[in-house]
A and B are shown apart, each in its own frame.
Chain A
Amino acid sequence: MKTLLDDAGLPVRLGSTLGSGGEGRVYTVASVGGDSNTADLAAKIYHSPVSPDRRKKLQCMVSGQSDPLQKLTAWPISTLSDQNGSVCGFLMHKAAEAFPVHHIYSPAQRKREHPEVNWDFLVNTARNTAAAFHAIHAHGHVIGDVNPNLVFVSRDSRVRLIDCDSFQIFGKGKYFLCEVGVPHFTPPELQEKSSFSNIIRQANHDNFGLAVLIFHLLLMGRHPFAGVYTGSGDLVLEKAILDFRYAYGRNARQKQTKPPPNSVEPSILSQTIRLYFEQAFSAAGAEPDGRPTAQDWVSELDAFRTQLRACDDNPNHHFFASLPHCPWCFQEQHLDISYFIPLISDHNGGSFNLIRVWARIEAVPPPKSVNEFTYPPFSITPAALPPEAQFQKIMGVLTKVMAAFLAFGSLITLNPMFILTAIAASAGLLAHRTDTNKERRKREHRLNAARKAFSTLHAQWKREVGDGRFEEKLRELERIKADLEALSRQYAREKDLLQSHSNHMDPRDLDRLKQNFAQKQQQLQNDLLAGPDQLKNIIQASQAQRRSLSTSLEKAALNVAQAEADMTVL
């Protein structure tokens, strides 16, 4: 890597790549002026040579930096120059351990990756996002390109805005424009512009994108204009924005649009927030300074977050205290959608996370399909009959021929000699039958015994070597998971019952109930935590069993084949 110099002339060494975009690449910083205490720094280096306008913009941003901007954004701290002295990038603060805001406003991804994030966190994030917008506007700048990757959120809900070099900057008496924008976050008044390269953006434009972001955060990742269009044909989102078809608005019906089925609606919010959305998404909002400002949002959300309460039944459900019921319980009970998953504090260090534990269970690969036992090739010679049975067999044939002859003879001659001989021959036939039958019974018995032994072993094989026991265990773990998920609701029911049945409820009864449920919960959690190891043990045991069982099973199969062959010679 070539050496770069910062504004103070100190050499800057770059580290690994953090990300790459259309314009440039972002790196960690290994050291500045030999000082490697640079974990909170990053550097953006442009792919192509920096134009004079961009260089002036960066220099203007560096000289206009302030504490709030440094704290709330990835603002350029210093430009970076190559050996020729040309500006090729800049240094900035890095959002440590932060993630893009769409990771938490999208319910599926939030539950998967940040299950500890509840609605109060989302309200906080919305408030902090508004505060960061306010800081930009207070400095006379405009973000311009509001989009889902603009806001990075850290684990304590503080935010940092990134991609600052694309912002519209006001400095030295002129505007450095923002020439990009994402249509879904672009206000109606700019929707039909063919390009942003000549447009001076206003804070009021940003305030549209801000309201859209806040809507996503508070209302489960929905876009305010993504409704069900009841008119004919397709209505693209850009057109819905242009036509002010706010799907949840008071004029939505006239605008032939309605909220999507099963969506969470703004009625769960305060009156003021609902009015703010109406205003931000209406024609009146498109007038100069027509929308609620970032500062308006900060004060309203600050007020709102003190009016939240936790649900009695599900402590991870937070909602606006003025509502008669918990909206998240409503969603769960009526629509079967769980937006917030329980993380009840418990003895597992308060950190039992059902989704993660279950993911670990699902990650155990099921044993390779060995349900079917493959038979080794047999070569079988039927066992010879014992000598007397063999003699009897020959005799039997002879007597049969003789008896037939004699019977025929006695019929046509009616000679008593013939008749007597015929009777004697028949007796001989019977005697032969008794001997062969004895051998047949013996061999049948052997065959049955061999088949029985084989099927017992084969069943054992299926259970212990195939995926039988693994599947059994998995089903059991699924039942435990379902029990655990139902537990908090069950607790709420029993608590209600306890309270409704006794006018003077003994608080000790409630304590006992609580303790009882905590114990149950603990037990179920421990069972699940042990799950992955149990599954792995089953696989290991099955491999060992496979080796020992396959020898016995081969032997048993051979016995069956032999016994079957032995039957054929009779």
Chain B
Amino acid sequence: MEKSEEEVDIEQISFGAESFAENPEPRCPCLLLLDTSASMSGDPINELNSGLTAFKEELATDSLAMKRVEVAIITFGPVEVKKTFHAASEFTPPHLSTTGNTPMGQAILEGIDLVGERKGEYRSNGIAFYRPWIFMITDGSPTDAWQSAAAAIKEGEKSKAFAFFAVGVKGADMETLGKISVREPLKLQGLKFRELFLWLSNSMKSVSRSVPGEVLALPPPSGWAEL
């Protein structure tokens, strides 16, 4: 149990405003895959941006979730990592604008890689974590090959490596989304991004303090999804 000076671990802790040593709470990673293709321009992207702000504000009401939830954002297309994983306390919502097409397949695969990398950092730093969530929001249909992404999602869900959720905004190709996501994709009512992100925030709060054995009781998505 004694640790002499010679044995000091030389493993480096990753630099960030808060190191794992300063915040060793178990992490609850949440990756947002956000469609910023041209068809999202105008009201949809504005509502999405204000939804992100609401997400942060809602998380901020829970000091435990602030230490545990980590948010990352990938936008498509083109596929771009907007935010790597950081504690919610350090998450500042980006201002997204629209560009390009919808390379959904590539975005999903990069997202799965990003989650895998973060899990590696948790493991080597002795940080416990909850099952990561990958939460995709799109209003179109993939403009690239999505079949390998769908296979990766099936594999990840099966091995409980992550949970993948897909939300379609008006115009989304719900049929293809259903083939990509193992969980039934949900359709957003109008532009209720704010309600969607409040729900996401509350779900992350419950994930970060779940009760054993119980199937996680998420709040019903009735406030924003067409059911």
Nearest-CB residue, chain B, relative to A259: B126
Chain B residue contacts of A227, Cβ below 8 A: 126
**For chain A residues 191-215, which have a beta carbon within 8 Å of chain B?**
191, 193-196
Known contacts A195-B214, A228-B124, A337-B21; A261/B9 CB under 8 A: yes
Q: Which of B11, B22, B67 has the most C-beta atoms of chain A within 10 angstroms of its own C-beta?
A: B22
* Interface residue tally for chain A (C-beta within 8 Å): 52
The 8 Å CB contact of B22, one of A108, A223, A229, is: A108
Query: Does chain B have a CB within 8 A of A266?
Result: yes
Choose among A234, A266, A337 the residue that contacts B1 (Cβ–Cβ < 8 A). Answer: A266
Contacts of B214 in A (CB 8 A): 195
Q: B4-42: which residues lie under 8 A (CB-CB) from chain A?
A: 5, 8-9, 11, 13, 18-26
- Least Cβ distance of A394 to chain B in Å? 60
- The residue that B64 contacts in the complex, of A102, A180, A263, with Cβ under 8 A, is A102
Name the contact of B128 in the complex, choosing from A107, A109, A237, A334 (C-beta under 8 A).
Answer: A237
A186 in contact with B212 (CB, 8 Å) = yes
**Residues of chain B lying within 8 A (CB to CB) of residue A260:** 20, 24, 125-127
For A334, give the chain B residue with the smallest CB separation: B8
Interface of chain A: mostly helix, strand, loop or mixed? loop
| Residues A237 and B26 in contact, CB atoms below 8 Å apart | yes
In the complex, chain B residues whose CB is within 8 Å of the CB of A180? 211
Confirm or deny: A103 has a beta carbon within 8 angstroms of a beta carbon on chain B: yes
Closest to A219 in B: B24
Contacts of B125 in A (CB 8 A): 228, 260-261
Q: In this complex, which of A108, A236, A259 has the most chain B Cβ atoms within 10 angstroms of its Cβ?
A: A108
Q: Does A220 contact B (CB under 8 A)?
A: yes
Chain B, residues 70-112, CB within 8 Å of chain A (1/0): the string is 0000000000000000000000000000000000000000000
B148 within 8 A of A: no
Q: With a CB–CB cut-off of 8 A, which chain A residues contact B9?
A: 261-262
Closest chain B residue to A247 by CB distance? B126
A193 touches B123 (CB 8 A): no
Q: Are B128 and A184 in contact (CB under 8 A)?
A: yes
Asked if A238 is an interface residue, CB under 8 A from chain B, the answer is yes
Residues of chain A with a CB closer than 8 A to B124's CB: 228, 261
Is A191 within 8 A of B24, CB to CB?
no
- Bound form: Cα–Cα A193–B213 in Å: 7
Is A171 in the interface zone, CB < 8 Å from B?
no
Give the complex CA separation of A248 and B2 in angstroms: 10
CB 8 Å contact bits of A257-299 with B (1 = contact, 0 = none): 0011111011100000010000000000000000000000000
- Nearest B residue to A238 via CB reads B212
Interface residues of A in 367-394 (CB under 8 A from B): none
Interchain CB contact under 8 A, B1 and A250: yes
A149 within 8 A of B: yes
**Given known A195-B214, A229-B123, contact A262–B3 (CB-CB < 8 A):** no
Are A267 and B13 closer than 8 Å at their CB atoms?
no
Q: How far does the Cβ of B61 sit from chain A's closest Cβ, in whole Å?
A: 9
For A103, the closest partner residue in chain B by CB is B63
Q: Which residue of B lies closest to A20 (CB)?
A: B61
Q: Within 8 Å of chain B (Cβ to Cβ): is A399? A: no
| Contact partner, A265, options B3, B127, B210, Cβ 8 Å | B3
Question: Taking the nearest CB of chain A, how far is it from the CB of B141, in angstroms?
Answer: 34
Are A265 and B1 also in contact (CB < 8 A) when A195-B213, A247-B126 are? Answer: yes
The answer to whether B126 touches A267, judged by C-beta atoms less than 8 angstroms apart, is no
Binding site for A on B (CB under 8 A): 1-3, 5, 8-9, 11, 13, 18-26, 63-64, 67, 119, 123-128, 209-214
- Can you list 9 A-B pairs with a CB-CB distance of less than 8 A? A100-B63, A111-B22, A221-B23, A223-B128, A238-B212, A249-B1, A266-B1, A334-B5, A337-B21
Please give 7 more A-B residue pairs, beta carbons under 8 A apart, in addition to A108-B67, A261-B9, A262-B21: A100-B63, A220-B24, A223-B128, A260-B126, A260-B127, A263-B126, A267-B2
Report the 6 A-B pairs with minimum CB-CB distance, sorted nearest first: A260-B126, A194-B213, A261-B11, A237-B128, A108-B22, A261-B9
